Structure 1
Amino acid sequence: MNESAFAEHEDRWILGLRGLEVTKISVDYQLSLQLGSDAWVVLEGPCQLSQGSAGGGSPQQMMDPGQQDAAAALALFGAKILSAVAFKTGTLRLVFDNGLHLVCVADPAFEAWQVTGPGDWRFVSLPGGELAVWSDVEAARGNETG
């Protein structure tokens, strides 16, 4: 995956994760999904896993990583990402090739999720519903001007 796959829009970021496979799942007080060898999705707040399009009447499972309630996430192992979107309201939506959709909304008091990599990219859902974005590209621009 290359950094040009990341694209900012008015209300969201398209994350450069398309085609990456879930190669590792771990649970402690958060749910961590390793994508390929150099990207991670870490969910710290409650999230929703559903089959098919969101709101389409499909069964939905709530997971709460803080309570180690994340067994449903095992169905993501080996799945590839078809779409990864970080909304500027702090919501993360991932769509997988096995038909599963994972949605994690912002938390009013805590960082609900973060995505790191590939490369030096980092997206974090800040408390209250904002999105923070860092990349090595931004750091390099800062060094050029100062």
Structure 2
Amino acid sequence: MASSRLKMGGDPLDRSVAAGQDVTQVCFDYGIVVNFSDGASLRIESDFDLEVAGEVLRVSPGEAGHASVVLSLLHKKVSRFHIDDGGALDVLLSSDCRLKCGEDPDYEAWTLTTGAGALYVSLPGGGVAHWPRAT
């Protein structure tokens, strides 16, 4: 299956892919995985900002020190899910929570698998690759 680089002006990402969905699970290893009620799964492997009630915290996946704050995402509802053409991710959730992850110069900062099976990957240095759902 071939990948394509997204052009966000006409990208195939349905921006409502996670809007209205609840965070059902948060998992930790060398990254952080956030699972949604529609079956979508977001894996973050680079540093990101997590804003909770107006306080912004820089989170490094794989470091346990911020686990309790990251767990505050559990059961939050997604209000907006945005990926820009540079590969930055911005997720607005209920209860004044916001997750922002920029691109990483050397690694894939995040990956998103939608509930329908499409895959989006933040590319090293910027941009987004997309593999449509397998049919």
Amino acid at match of 1:10: G
Report if the CA contact (8 A) 1:29-1:68 is conserved. Answer: no
Q: Secondary structure at the match of 2:62?
A: helix
Instruction: Give 2:56's aligned residue.
Output: 60
Instruction: Give 1:48's aligned residue.
Output: 49
Q: Which has the higher helix share?
A: 1
Report if the CA contact (8 A) 1:22-1:33 is conserved. Answer: yes
The TM-score normalised by the length of structure 2 is: 0.84
Report if the CA contact (8 A) 1:18-1:84 is conserved. Answer: yes
Q: 1:69 to 1:115 in 2, by over 3 A?
A: farther
Question: For residues 68-96 of structure 1, what are the alpha-carbon distances to aligned partners after superposition, in whole Å with 9 as ceiling and x for unaligned?
Answer: 44421111100010100111101000000
**Bigger relative CO (Cα 8 Å, ≥ 6 apart):** 2
Question: Pairwise mapping of residues 32-111 of structure 1 onto structure 2 (< 5 A)?
Answer: 32-51=33-52, 58-71=54-67, 72-111=69-108
Identity of aligned residues (%): 26
Larger Rg over CA atoms = 1
Residue 118 (str. 1) matches residue 115 (str. 2): yes
Rounded to whole Å, the distance in 2 between the matches of 1:125 and 1:134 is: 12
Structure 2 residue ranges without an equivalent (≥5): 1-6
Rounded to whole Å, the distance in 2 between the matches of 1:118 and 1:90 is: 20
Rounded to whole Å, the distance in 2 between the matches of 1:48 and 1:129 is: 17
Rounded to whole Å, the distance in 2 between the matches of 1:77 and 1:51 is: 12
RMSD: 2.0
Moved over 6 A (4+): none
The TM-score normalised by the length of structure 1 is: 0.78
